[in-house]
Amino acid sequence: MNYFILFTALAALFGFQTSQAPPSRGEAFSHQRHSPLKMKCTACHATAEKEESASFPEIQKCRTCHVDMSQREIPAARVYALKEFVSFSHGRHSESKIGCASCHGEVMKMDNIQVFRPTTMASCVACHKEHKASVACNTCHELGQ
Ligand code: HEC
Ligand code: HEC
Ligand code: HEC
Ligand code: HEC
Ligand code: HEC
Protein backbone atom coordinates (compact mmCIF):
# COMPACT_ATOMS: atom_id res chain seq x y z
CA MET A 1 0.00 0.00 0.00
CA ASN A 2 2.68 2.50 1.02
CA TYR A 3 4.72 1.41 -1.96
CA PHE A 4 1.80 2.10 -4.24
CA ILE A 5 1.43 5.64 -2.88
CA LEU A 6 5.16 6.24 -3.18
CA PHE A 7 5.11 5.04 -6.78
CA THR A 8 2.17 7.29 -7.61
CA ALA A 9 3.91 10.27 -6.04
CA LEU A 10 7.14 9.58 -7.94
CA ALA A 11 5.23 9.11 -11.15
CA ALA A 12 3.60 12.50 -10.67
CA LEU A 13 6.92 14.07 -9.74
CA PHE A 14 8.82 12.79 -12.75
CA GLY A 15 5.93 13.08 -15.14
CA PHE A 16 5.59 9.39 -16.03
CA GLN A 17 2.51 8.95 -18.12
CA THR A 18 0.76 5.91 -19.45
CA SER A 19 0.10 7.60 -22.79
CA GLN A 20 2.62 9.49 -24.92
CA ALA A 21 0.44 12.61 -25.14
CA PRO A 22 2.60 15.73 -25.23
CA PRO A 23 2.44 17.93 -22.12
CA SER A 24 0.13 20.94 -22.07
CA ARG A 25 1.67 23.57 -19.87
CA GLY A 26 1.76 27.26 -20.73
CA GLU A 27 5.39 28.38 -21.15
CA ALA A 28 6.78 30.31 -24.12
CA PHE A 29 6.98 28.41 -27.38
CA SER A 30 10.33 26.72 -27.99
CA HIS A 31 11.24 25.83 -31.56
CA GLN A 32 13.99 23.54 -30.30
CA ARG A 33 11.56 21.41 -28.28
CA HIS A 34 9.60 20.81 -31.48
CA SER A 35 12.55 20.04 -33.74
CA PRO A 36 12.29 16.22 -33.35
CA LEU A 37 8.88 16.46 -35.05
CA LYS A 38 10.54 17.69 -38.25
CA MET A 39 7.67 20.03 -39.07
CA LYS A 40 7.98 22.45 -41.96
CA CYS A 41 8.13 26.14 -41.08
CA THR A 42 4.99 26.61 -43.17
CA ALA A 43 3.05 24.17 -40.98
CA CYS A 44 2.88 27.07 -38.50
CA HIS A 45 3.92 30.12 -40.54
CA ALA A 46 1.53 29.27 -43.34
CA THR A 47 2.16 32.20 -45.69
CA ALA A 48 5.98 32.50 -45.32
CA GLU A 49 6.73 31.27 -48.84
CA LYS A 50 3.91 33.05 -50.64
CA GLU A 51 2.82 36.31 -49.06
CA GLU A 52 4.31 39.46 -47.61
CA SER A 53 3.86 38.38 -44.05
CA ALA A 54 4.99 34.99 -42.72
CA SER A 55 2.14 34.94 -40.12
CA PHE A 56 1.75 33.15 -36.79
CA PRO A 57 -0.28 30.00 -36.04
CA GLU A 58 -3.65 30.05 -34.31
CA ILE A 59 -4.01 28.21 -31.03
CA GLN A 60 -6.06 25.56 -32.90
CA LYS A 61 -2.84 24.51 -34.61
CA CYS A 62 -1.22 23.78 -31.24
CA ARG A 63 -4.31 21.89 -30.11
CA THR A 64 -3.89 19.31 -32.84
CA CYS A 65 -1.26 17.87 -30.47
CA HIS A 66 -1.79 19.64 -27.13
CA VAL A 67 -5.50 18.83 -27.08
CA ASP A 68 -6.38 20.75 -23.93
CA MET A 69 -3.95 23.66 -24.23
CA SER A 70 -5.39 26.79 -22.64
CA GLN A 71 -5.62 30.12 -24.48
CA ARG A 72 -2.33 32.00 -24.86
CA GLU A 73 -0.93 34.99 -26.70
CA ILE A 74 0.75 34.10 -30.01
CA PRO A 75 3.25 35.59 -30.39
CA ALA A 76 4.21 36.16 -26.79
CA ALA A 77 6.46 38.97 -28.06
CA ARG A 78 7.84 40.15 -31.40
CA VAL A 79 11.50 39.62 -32.29
CA TYR A 80 11.71 40.96 -35.85
CA ALA A 81 9.67 43.99 -36.80
CA LEU A 82 10.15 46.58 -39.54
CA LYS A 83 8.91 50.12 -39.45
CA GLU A 84 5.96 50.88 -41.70
CA PHE A 85 7.95 52.86 -44.26
CA VAL A 86 9.91 49.76 -45.34
CA SER A 87 8.56 47.40 -48.02
CA PHE A 88 9.42 43.79 -47.42
CA SER A 89 7.95 40.54 -48.70
CA HIS A 90 8.64 37.01 -47.51
CA GLY A 91 7.14 35.60 -50.69
CA ARG A 92 9.49 37.66 -52.86
CA HIS A 93 12.59 36.35 -51.04
CA SER A 94 11.36 32.76 -51.05
CA GLU A 95 10.82 33.04 -54.82
CA SER A 96 14.49 34.03 -55.13
CA LYS A 97 15.54 30.96 -53.08
CA ILE A 98 16.67 32.95 -50.05
CA GLY A 99 16.02 30.46 -47.24
CA CYS A 100 14.61 31.31 -43.82
CA ALA A 101 17.98 30.63 -42.17
CA SER A 102 19.78 33.40 -44.13
CA CYS A 103 17.81 35.92 -42.12
CA HIS A 104 16.58 34.02 -39.03
CA GLY A 105 19.44 31.55 -38.41
CA GLU A 106 18.92 27.98 -37.19
CA VAL A 107 15.57 28.61 -35.55
CA MET A 108 14.90 24.95 -34.77
CA LYS A 109 17.94 24.96 -32.48
CA MET A 110 16.67 27.95 -30.51
CA ASP A 111 14.71 27.80 -27.28
CA ASN A 112 14.08 31.53 -27.42
CA ILE A 113 14.40 33.25 -30.77
CA GLN A 114 17.28 35.71 -30.90
CA VAL A 115 17.88 38.17 -33.71
CA PHE A 116 20.22 36.55 -36.22
CA ARG A 117 20.35 39.13 -38.98
CA PRO A 118 19.34 42.62 -37.87
CA THR A 119 16.57 44.39 -39.78
CA THR A 120 18.64 47.52 -40.39
CA MET A 121 19.00 49.18 -43.77
CA ALA A 122 22.74 48.37 -43.81
CA SER A 123 22.01 44.68 -43.35
CA CYS A 124 19.37 44.56 -46.11
CA VAL A 125 21.57 46.51 -48.52
CA ALA A 126 24.65 44.35 -47.84
CA CYS A 127 22.85 41.20 -48.91
CA HIS A 128 21.26 42.90 -51.91
CA LYS A 129 24.73 43.90 -53.08
CA GLU A 130 26.02 40.37 -52.52
CA HIS A 131 23.20 38.94 -54.66
CA LYS A 132 23.19 41.76 -57.21
CA ALA A 133 19.63 42.61 -56.14
CA SER A 134 18.40 46.19 -56.46
CA VAL A 135 19.63 48.80 -53.97
CA ALA A 136 17.63 51.68 -55.48
CA CYS A 137 15.90 53.60 -52.70
CA ASN A 138 12.43 52.87 -54.09
CA THR A 139 13.04 49.12 -53.90
CA CYS A 140 12.40 49.33 -50.17
CA HIS A 141 10.78 52.73 -49.75
CA GLU A 142 7.83 54.26 -51.56
CA LEU A 143 8.95 57.62 -52.83
CA GLY A 144 7.11 60.62 -54.19
CA GLN A 145 4.46 61.77 -51.65
C1 HEC B 1 2.70 18.04 -34.20
C2 HEC B 1 2.49 18.10 -32.77
C3 HEC B 1 2.72 19.41 -32.04
C4 HEC B 1 2.26 20.66 -32.38
C5 HEC B 1 1.45 21.08 -33.61
C6 HEC B 1 2.67 21.54 -31.30
N7 HEC B 1 3.37 20.84 -30.37
FE8 HEC B 1 4.16 21.61 -28.63
N9 HEC B 1 5.05 19.82 -28.25
C10 HEC B 1 4.87 18.65 -28.96
C11 HEC B 1 5.67 17.59 -28.36
C12 HEC B 1 5.75 16.15 -28.85
C13 HEC B 1 6.31 18.17 -27.23
C14 HEC B 1 7.26 17.50 -26.25
C15 HEC B 1 8.68 17.71 -26.68
C16 HEC B 1 9.65 17.30 -25.60
O17 HEC B 1 9.41 16.30 -24.91
O18 HEC B 1 10.61 17.99 -25.43
C19 HEC B 1 5.89 19.57 -27.19
C20 HEC B 1 6.28 20.47 -26.20
C21 HEC B 1 5.72 21.72 -26.01
C22 HEC B 1 5.95 22.58 -24.87
C23 HEC B 1 6.85 22.26 -23.72
C24 HEC B 1 6.10 21.48 -22.68
C25 HEC B 1 6.97 21.10 -21.51
O26 HEC B 1 6.49 20.33 -20.66
O27 HEC B 1 8.13 21.53 -21.43
C28 HEC B 1 5.21 23.72 -25.06
C29 HEC B 1 5.07 24.90 -24.11
C30 HEC B 1 4.55 23.58 -26.35
N31 HEC B 1 4.87 22.35 -26.88
C32 HEC B 1 3.74 24.54 -26.91
C33 HEC B 1 3.22 24.48 -28.20
C34 HEC B 1 2.52 25.58 -28.85
C35 HEC B 1 2.29 26.95 -28.26
C36 HEC B 1 2.15 25.10 -30.08
C37 HEC B 1 1.44 25.85 -31.17
C38 HEC B 1 2.09 27.04 -31.69
C39 HEC B 1 2.61 23.73 -30.18
N40 HEC B 1 3.25 23.39 -29.04
C41 HEC B 1 2.39 22.90 -31.28
C42 HEC B 1 4.06 18.51 -30.09
C43 HEC B 1 3.43 19.53 -30.77
C1 HEC C 1 4.81 24.16 -34.30
C2 HEC C 1 4.72 25.50 -34.85
C3 HEC C 1 5.95 26.20 -35.39
C4 HEC C 1 6.87 25.73 -36.31
C5 HEC C 1 6.93 24.36 -36.98
C6 HEC C 1 7.78 26.82 -36.57
N7 HEC C 1 7.42 27.91 -35.82
FE8 HEC C 1 8.33 29.74 -35.77
N9 HEC C 1 7.06 30.38 -34.32
C10 HEC C 1 6.02 29.64 -33.79
C11 HEC C 1 5.38 30.39 -32.71
C12 HEC C 1 4.21 29.93 -31.87
C13 HEC C 1 6.10 31.62 -32.63
C14 HEC C 1 5.86 32.76 -31.63
C15 HEC C 1 6.78 32.52 -30.44
C16 HEC C 1 6.20 32.80 -29.11
O17 HEC C 1 5.12 33.38 -29.02
O18 HEC C 1 6.82 32.40 -28.08
C19 HEC C 1 7.14 31.58 -33.65
C20 HEC C 1 8.06 32.61 -33.88
C21 HEC C 1 8.98 32.60 -34.92
C22 HEC C 1 9.85 33.72 -35.26
C23 HEC C 1 9.93 35.05 -34.53
C24 HEC C 1 9.10 36.08 -35.25
C25 HEC C 1 9.00 37.40 -34.57
O26 HEC C 1 9.30 38.42 -35.20
O27 HEC C 1 8.62 37.45 -33.39
C28 HEC C 1 10.59 33.34 -36.34
C29 HEC C 1 11.64 34.16 -37.05
C30 HEC C 1 10.19 31.97 -36.67
N31 HEC C 1 9.21 31.56 -35.79
C32 HEC C 1 10.73 31.25 -37.70
C33 HEC C 1 10.49 29.90 -37.94
C34 HEC C 1 11.20 29.10 -38.92
C35 HEC C 1 12.29 29.62 -39.82
C36 HEC C 1 10.68 27.83 -38.84
C37 HEC C 1 11.13 26.60 -39.60
C38 HEC C 1 12.56 26.30 -39.54
C39 HEC C 1 9.64 27.84 -37.82
N40 HEC C 1 9.56 29.11 -37.28
C41 HEC C 1 8.84 26.76 -37.46
C42 HEC C 1 5.62 28.39 -34.20
C43 HEC C 1 6.31 27.56 -35.08
C1 HEC D 1 15.48 38.25 -46.41
C2 HEC D 1 15.28 38.06 -45.00
C3 HEC D 1 14.21 37.11 -44.52
C4 HEC D 1 13.95 35.83 -44.95
C5 HEC D 1 14.65 35.03 -46.06
C6 HEC D 1 12.86 35.33 -44.13
N7 HEC D 1 12.46 36.28 -43.24
FE8 HEC D 1 11.03 36.13 -41.80
N9 HEC D 1 11.23 38.10 -41.36
C10 HEC D 1 12.15 38.96 -41.94
C11 HEC D 1 11.85 40.33 -41.55
C12 HEC D 1 12.60 41.58 -42.00
C13 HEC D 1 10.72 40.27 -40.70
C14 HEC D 1 9.93 41.44 -40.09
C15 HEC D 1 8.82 41.75 -41.08
C16 HEC D 1 7.95 42.93 -40.74
O17 HEC D 1 8.02 43.47 -39.64
O18 HEC D 1 7.13 43.31 -41.61
C19 HEC D 1 10.38 38.84 -40.58
C20 HEC D 1 9.33 38.35 -39.82
C21 HEC D 1 9.03 36.98 -39.68
C22 HEC D 1 8.01 36.42 -38.80
C23 HEC D 1 7.09 37.22 -37.90
C24 HEC D 1 5.71 37.31 -38.53
C25 HEC D 1 5.66 38.19 -39.73
O26 HEC D 1 5.11 37.75 -40.75
O27 HEC D 1 6.14 39.34 -39.68
C28 HEC D 1 8.04 35.07 -38.96
C29 HEC D 1 7.14 34.05 -38.27
C30 HEC D 1 9.04 34.76 -39.97
N31 HEC D 1 9.63 35.96 -40.38
C32 HEC D 1 9.31 33.50 -40.46
C33 HEC D 1 10.05 33.24 -41.60
C34 HEC D 1 10.10 31.96 -42.29
C35 HEC D 1 9.36 30.71 -41.87
C36 HEC D 1 10.93 32.12 -43.36
C37 HEC D 1 11.28 31.13 -44.48
C38 HEC D 1 10.15 30.58 -45.24
C39 HEC D 1 11.41 33.50 -43.34
N40 HEC D 1 10.83 34.15 -42.27
C41 HEC D 1 12.31 34.07 -44.26
C42 HEC D 1 13.18 38.60 -42.76
C43 HEC D 1 13.26 37.39 -43.44
C1 HEC E 1 20.08 37.18 -47.37
C2 HEC E 1 19.98 38.15 -48.45
C3 HEC E 1 18.92 39.23 -48.39
C4 HEC E 1 18.58 40.00 -47.31
C5 HEC E 1 19.15 39.96 -45.90
C6 HEC E 1 17.53 40.88 -47.75
N7 HEC E 1 17.24 40.66 -49.06
FE8 HEC E 1 15.76 41.59 -50.13
N9 HEC E 1 16.20 40.42 -51.74
C10 HEC E 1 17.25 39.52 -51.83
C11 HEC E 1 17.23 38.91 -53.14
C12 HEC E 1 18.23 37.87 -53.68
C13 HEC E 1 16.15 39.48 -53.84
C14 HEC E 1 15.68 39.17 -55.28
C15 HEC E 1 16.36 40.04 -56.27
C16 HEC E 1 15.95 39.73 -57.70
O17 HEC E 1 15.35 38.69 -57.97
O18 HEC E 1 16.27 40.58 -58.55
C19 HEC E 1 15.52 40.44 -52.94
C20 HEC E 1 14.42 41.20 -53.26
C21 HEC E 1 13.86 42.18 -52.46
C22 HEC E 1 12.77 43.04 -52.83
C23 HEC E 1 12.05 43.02 -54.18
C24 HEC E 1 12.87 43.78 -55.17
C25 HEC E 1 12.28 43.76 -56.54
O26 HEC E 1 12.96 44.29 -57.43
O27 HEC E 1 11.20 43.21 -56.75
C28 HEC E 1 12.55 43.89 -51.77
C29 HEC E 1 11.51 45.00 -51.70
C30 HEC E 1 13.48 43.53 -50.74
N31 HEC E 1 14.25 42.50 -51.18
C32 HEC E 1 13.56 44.16 -49.50
C33 HEC E 1 14.43 43.79 -48.48
C34 HEC E 1 14.48 44.41 -47.17
C35 HEC E 1 13.64 45.58 -46.73
C36 HEC E 1 15.42 43.72 -46.46
C37 HEC E 1 15.87 43.94 -45.02
C38 HEC E 1 14.81 43.91 -43.99
C39 HEC E 1 15.95 42.69 -47.32
N40 HEC E 1 15.34 42.76 -48.54
C41 HEC E 1 16.92 41.81 -46.92
C42 HEC E 1 18.12 39.19 -50.82
C43 HEC E 1 18.08 39.67 -49.51
C1 HEC F 1 17.19 46.77 -49.39
C2 HEC F 1 16.30 47.68 -48.70
C3 HEC F 1 16.62 49.13 -48.57
C4 HEC F 1 17.11 49.97 -49.55
C5 HEC F 1 17.54 49.62 -50.96
C6 HEC F 1 17.12 51.29 -48.97
N7 HEC F 1 16.65 51.24 -47.68
FE8 HEC F 1 16.41 52.85 -46.43
N9 HEC F 1 15.84 51.59 -44.93
C10 HEC F 1 15.70 50.24 -45.05
C11 HEC F 1 15.33 49.70 -43.76
C12 HEC F 1 15.09 48.24 -43.44
C13 HEC F 1 15.22 50.80 -42.88
C14 HEC F 1 14.78 50.77 -41.43
C15 HEC F 1 15.99 50.78 -40.54
C16 HEC F 1 15.61 50.62 -39.10
O17 HEC F 1 14.47 50.37 -38.76
O18 HEC F 1 16.55 50.73 -38.30
C19 HEC F 1 15.55 51.98 -43.66
C20 HEC F 1 15.56 53.28 -43.15
C21 HEC F 1 15.71 54.41 -43.91
C22 HEC F 1 15.56 55.77 -43.42
C23 HEC F 1 15.17 56.18 -42.03
C24 HEC F 1 16.41 56.52 -41.27
C25 HEC F 1 16.66 55.68 -40.13
O26 HEC F 1 17.81 55.61 -39.69
O27 HEC F 1 15.73 55.00 -39.63
C28 HEC F 1 15.81 56.61 -44.45
C29 HEC F 1 15.78 58.12 -44.46
C30 HEC F 1 16.17 55.76 -45.60
N31 HEC F 1 16.07 54.44 -45.23
C32 HEC F 1 16.50 56.22 -46.84
C33 HEC F 1 16.97 55.46 -47.91
C34 HEC F 1 17.54 55.99 -49.14
C35 HEC F 1 17.71 57.47 -49.46
C36 HEC F 1 17.86 54.92 -49.92
C37 HEC F 1 18.56 54.90 -51.27
C38 HEC F 1 19.89 55.46 -51.26
C39 HEC F 1 17.47 53.71 -49.17
N40 HEC F 1 16.93 54.09 -47.95
C41 HEC F 1 17.57 52.43 -49.63
C42 HEC F 1 15.87 49.48 -46.18
C43 HEC F 1 16.35 49.95 -47.41
Range of the structural domain that residue 55 is part of? 26-140
107 within some domain: yes
80-102, pLDDT tens digit by residue? 999 999 999 999 999 999 999 99
pTM, full prediction:
0.92
Least confident of 14-28, 59-73, 116-130: 14-28
Ligand 5 pocket member 119 (CB < 6 A) = yes
Ligand 3 pocket member 107 (CB < 6 A) = no
92 within some domain: yes
Give the CB-side neighbour count of residue 79, counting CA atoms within 13 A: 16
5 within some domain: no
Calculate how far, in angstroms, residue 72's C-alpha sits from the geometric centre of ligand 1.
13
Q: What is the position in ligand 1's atom list of the atom closest to the CA of 43?
A: 5
Q: What's the structural domain count of the chain?
A: 1
Calculate how far, in angstroms, residue 85's C-alpha sits from the geometric centre of ligand 2.
24
